[in-house]
């Protein structure tokens, strides 16, 4: 029997979409392995009924020591409970938080970590994790000799929903608040209600081709926002745009930004540098709008429109409004 422990991340008191997807993946894997799924929630008052989303058991760790996120604190808690439930596989989402503490947790448990996985499978009774490497140019298959710790790319694994029920078991952190090496003191919220590029099902991204929003590019960025509004999409950006201070870093897609896997990714005025592609080639459908027919973005695009963003983006918005009746 092989049990799976999964950390379910919460945002503003609710399980995040990525957290529920990780729980779904854990549930599917545990079933294949003939084991059970334990969900662990840290620092949240009320974890709700994660049994409906695939958990057989829920552990809710609370108390002053986890009132704020701490990488070493979360790592210690997950490693402690992984041992307690005899987990062979330990999972979390590959979000900034998951990426941050899971490597520390794996080190405490003396295990390797398969980061940013896009597939989990069982072969000959062993768990195999598949993860893109070299900026998405190759896929690596990782098989753990012992226990496997892995982070899962958001928007790749499916949530599950059922009639299960699992009342949370309360637990305290195995340390005091004063024992932590680093604690997050303040979280500065982004624009309220703004969709996160990493979680959204549709992303509309702008590049340097849109030009300076405080100058000649003002209308282009308004057009981009209007297109995103019609589609209910999050807005993303290339690094060139973020480095220029035109958009916040939270919007950046790519190797040094966020990895996105939406159903639809629309790249507007983005050349398609390898570092940008590293963050978005996992998208199900890619649409590129660029005035240069030789732009590398067209090599990964399912649909390419050669044209000026000034013309194409508003025309697309109008056509979509009509088609969607909005
Ligand atoms: C270590 C490292 C990490 C990096 N990490 C990232 C990362 O995470 N994300 C990222 O995006 N980049 C990253 N970069 C930067 C990357 O190499 C590129 O410089 C960047 O992606 C370019 O952004 P861009 O496509 O917006 O700009 P450009 O390359 O300048 O492309 C602009 C495009 O707009 C088109 N265009 C211009 N005007 C119009 C118009 N009116 N209508 C239509 N099209 C138009 C042009 O044809 C061009 O293709 C990284 C680089 C390094 C070295």
Q: Assign residue 273 the CATH number of its domain.
A: 3.40.50.1220
Residues in a beta bridge with 254 = none
pLDDT values of the chain reduced to their tens digit, one per residue, 326 residues: 689 999 999 988 899 999 999 999 999 999 999 999 999 999 977 888 899 999 999 999 998 889 889 999 999 999 999 999 999 999 999 999 999 999 999 999 999 999 999 999 998 888 999 999 987 889 999 998 889 999 999 989 999 998 888 989 999 998 888 888 888 888 777 766 778 898 899 999 999 999 999 999 999 999 999 999 999 999 999 999 999 999 999 999 999 999 999 999 999 999 999 999 999 999 999 999 999 999 999 999 999 999 999 999 999 999 999 999 87
Place of tokens 């996105």: 260
What pLDDT is recorded for position 13?
86
Indicate if 95 and 158 belong to the same structural domain: yes
Comparing C-alpha atoms, which of 71, 55, 70, 73 is closest to residue 5? 55
The answer to whether the beta carbons of residues 228 and 200 sit under 8 Å apart is: no
Relative orientation angle of helices 309-324 and 218-231, to the nearest 10 degrees = 20
CA 22 – ligand 1 centroid, Å: 31
- Which domain does 15 fall in, by range? 3-179
Residue with tokens 């058991």: 57
Residue 192 domain flag: no
Same structural domain for residues 163 and 211? no
Q: Which two tokens stand for residue 101?
A: 């503490």
Bridge partner residues of 265 (DSSP): 203, 286
Hey, whose CA ends up nearest to atom 37 of ligand 1?
Answer: 209
- Residue 187 included in any domain: no
Rounded (5°) CA angle 230-233-234 = 140
- Which residues contact residue 290 at a Cβ distance below 8 angstroms, ignoring those fewer than 6 apart? 209, 267, 269, 270, 271, 272, 297, 298, 304, 305, 306
pLDDT at 47: 84
227/92 same-domain check: no
Same domain membership, residue 210 and residue 166: no
C-alpha 190 – ligand 1 centre gap (Å): 24
How close are the terminal C-alpha atoms of the chain, in Å?
52
Residue 92 domain flag: yes
| Ligand 1 pocket by Cβ (under 6 Å) | 207-209, 238-241, 252-257, 269-271, 273, 275-276, 279, 290-292, 295, 308-310
* Pocket probe mutation, ligand 1, options 219, 237, 273, 309, max atoms within 8 Å of Cβ: 273
Torsion of CA 107, 184, 251, 232, to 10 degrees: 100
Q: Which of 140, 165, 93 is nearest to 101 (CA)?
A: 93
Let me know if residue 197 belongs to a domain. Answer: no
Number of domains in the chain: 2
Pocket test for ligand 1, best of 204, 205, 209 (most atoms within 8 A of CB): 209
Helix or strand or coil: residue 169? strand
Looking at the structure, tell me whether residues 87 and 146 fall in a common domain: yes
Position 163 scores a pLDDT of 85
From the alpha carbon of 238, which atom of ligand 1 is closest?
A: 11
Q: Does 290 lie in the same domain as 231? A: yes
Residues 207 and 175 in one domain: no
My answer on whether 155 and 223 are in the same domain is: no
Give the per-residue pLDDT at 1.
Answer: 60
User: Can you tell me the distance from the alpha carbon of 19 to that of 275, in angstroms, rounded to the nearest whole number?
Assistant: 26
Q: How far is the CA of 151 from the centre of ligand 1 (A)?
A: 28
Q: Is 250 helix (H, G, I), strand (E, B) or coil?
A: helix
């Amino acid at each position: 029997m092989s049990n799976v422990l999964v950390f379910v991340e919460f945002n503003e008191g609710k399980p995040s979409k990525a957290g529920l997807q990780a729980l779904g993946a854990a549930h599917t894997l545990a079933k294949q392995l003939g084991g059970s799924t334990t969900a662990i929630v840290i620092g949240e008052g009320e974890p709700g009924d994660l049994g409906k989303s695939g958990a057989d058991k829920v552990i809710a760790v609370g108390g002053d020591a986890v009132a704020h996120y701490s990488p070493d604190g979360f790592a210690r808690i997950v490693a402690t409970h992984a041992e307690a439930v005899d987990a062979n596989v330990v999972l979390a989402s590959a979000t900034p938080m998951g990426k941050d503490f899971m490597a520390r947790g794996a080190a405490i448990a003396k295990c390797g970590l398969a980061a940013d996985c896009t597939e989990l499978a069982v072969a000959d009774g062993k768990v195999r994790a598949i993860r893109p490497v070299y900026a998405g140019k190759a896929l690596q298959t990782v098989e753990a000799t012992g226990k496997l710790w892995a982070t899962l790319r958001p928007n790749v694994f499916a949530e599950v929903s059922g009639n299960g029920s699992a009342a949370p078991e309360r637990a305290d952190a195995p340390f005091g608040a004063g024992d932590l090496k680093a604690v997050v003191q303040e979280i500065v919220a982004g624009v309220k209600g703004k969709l996160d590029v990493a979680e959204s099902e549709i992303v509309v991204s702008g590049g340097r081709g849109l030009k300076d929003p405080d100058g000649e590019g003002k209308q282009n960025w308004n057009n981009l926002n209007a297109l995103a509004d019609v589609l209910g999409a999050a807005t993303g950006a290339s690094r060139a745009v973020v480095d220029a201070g035109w958009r916040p870093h939270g919007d950046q897609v790519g190797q040094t930004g966020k990895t996105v896997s939406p159903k639809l990714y629309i790249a507007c005025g983005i050349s398609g540098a390898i570092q940008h592609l590293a963050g978005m080639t996992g998208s199900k459908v890619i649409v590129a709008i660029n005035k240069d027919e030789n732009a590398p973005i067209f090599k990964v695009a399912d649909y390419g429109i050669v044209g000026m963003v000034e013309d194409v983006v508003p025309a697309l918005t109008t056509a979509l409004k009509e088609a969607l009746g909005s």
